[in-house]
Structure 1
């Protein structure tokens, strides 16, 4: 009888644990990841940083946003002088300024420039932004990466509001102990097929309560492999390191 009671209690406990696990949704996990990364502060900030040879600025205030990218380039070859270029993406759309004067840009190029500006700013504050209206979230099976347990969240985008690259697919791995995003992977369309990337977080730092990270940026040798298989290759040291994604001179106001 004693053993029967123990078995019954164990069964009930396992059921409770299973039920609790099932109630942990993709949405609740993303909410928690945003919270521990300082996302509550993001809705009213001005952030500056340098990435490679360009300077970036982001102003956000409760749905109002103004994203900038500034750099030097030779725009008018016949003049043969270096120009100051500023790309601006905000709630009204995209504009390019050259030497502080607005420049006419074709719709096709404006879309490409806007996507490029948005991409850098998007990655700079992840997982903030994953609750945008165009984002679809789905919880996948938990995984082990480098001996740590992770929740797995797949993110896709609606065409309406999802931007030029709405067909991209992302997967985020959220550490079960810290609720921080430690790894992510994504697929995107290239001219010759599908591109795959896997990113590993390093150099974590909090500035004014907001988490910023850098990434080791990897790719598989076989582009036909499933996106969800990339952690397995990473665990076996079978991914190629392409680059490092490093934010420098980060300031937050």
Structure 2
């Protein structure tokens, strides 16, 4: 028969150092686990799509874009963005083939086009087309800001690995009401798990016989505390547009390069004052 010999009882005083040591060990373990799961670590896992987008806006320095002034040049045309807590003015200025100074002004009320400072009377079709063109350039420049619009639907998809890095992938679709003329388009945004930044994006489109585009961010730089980036534009035209497979096709080298999206002369001012 095995005899169990009781261990000598410890005094209350002798227990205290051990208890304190155990408590400190648990605290250190808790701190380690918490830090290891912070945004930017490999163990960080977003709760939902909104979590990913909020982190991205912060990573890009765009949390103050509800009240800001921006100017930049894209394909030899000058663009301006002014926002003020729901009110906006987007402008585009260029010289046409006849040497006329053309200026488009898009506001909450609609679009106006001026030629040599004279207001033009536009057809509904032309007005819609010009507005969509101005807004498209503005939209891509301000990404990932602006994905909280009431007409935007967001969904967190499975993670993917591109060029050796892990990405949180968010699917974006638009409601017919308030979603613009291209509300049938579908977007996928790829956010770097370590940095929270938008490194890639893809979208399908229906206009002009349709197609799919895939963009890779390049030339990242800070302007006025905001992360600005250009893109290499890849894509296919026609019905071959499975957006769920676009990352794998890019990795396999199956997407031809179409163009480079470059924004120059970027200036960002008018960040809101604290407490505003």
Q: Which of 161, 170, 192 pairs up with 1:153?
A: 170
Q: Which of 81, 92, 103 pairs up with 1:58?
A: 81
TM-score (norm: length of structure 1): 0.86
Could you tell me which residue of structure 2 aligns to residue 29 of structure 1?
A: 52
**1:150–1:60 Cα change, 3 Å:** same
1:224 aligns with 2:240: yes
Could you tell me which residue of structure 1 aligns to residue 104 of structure 2?
A: 87
Q: Which of 115, 136, 141 pairs up with 2:153?
A: 136
Equivalents in 2 of 1:140, 1:43: separation in Å? Answer: 27
Q: Indicate the larger mover: 166-175 or 224-233.
A: 224-233
Could you tell me which residue of structure 2 aligns to residue 77 of structure 1?
A: none
Q: Which of 44, 63, 67 pairs up with 1:40?
A: 63
Equivalents in 1 of 2:152, 2:228: separation in Å? Answer: 22
What pairs up with 1:180-195 in 2 under 5 angstroms?
180-192=197-209, 194-195=210-211
Q: Secondary structure at the match of 1:39?
A: coil
**Which residues of structure 1 form unaligned runs of 5+?**
1-12, 75-80
Equivalents in 1 of 2:245, 2:238: separation in Å? Answer: 11
Q: Secondary structure at the match of 2:128?
A: helix
8 A Cα contact 1:49 1:251, kept in partner: yes
1:207 aligns with 2:218: no
Q: Which of 117, 129, 140 pairs up with 1:123?
A: 140
CA RMSD of aligned residues (A): 1.7
* Superposed displacement of residue 190, structure 1: 2.9
* Superposed displacement of residue 24, structure 1: 1.3
Q: Which of 159, 170, 177 pairs up with 2:187?
A: 170
Count of residue pairs brought into register by the alignment = 228
* Superposed displacement of residue 41, structure 1: 2.0
Greater share of residues in strand: 1
* Superposed displacement of residue 221, structure 1: 7.3
The runs of 4+ residues in structure 1 deviating greater than 3 Å are 220-223
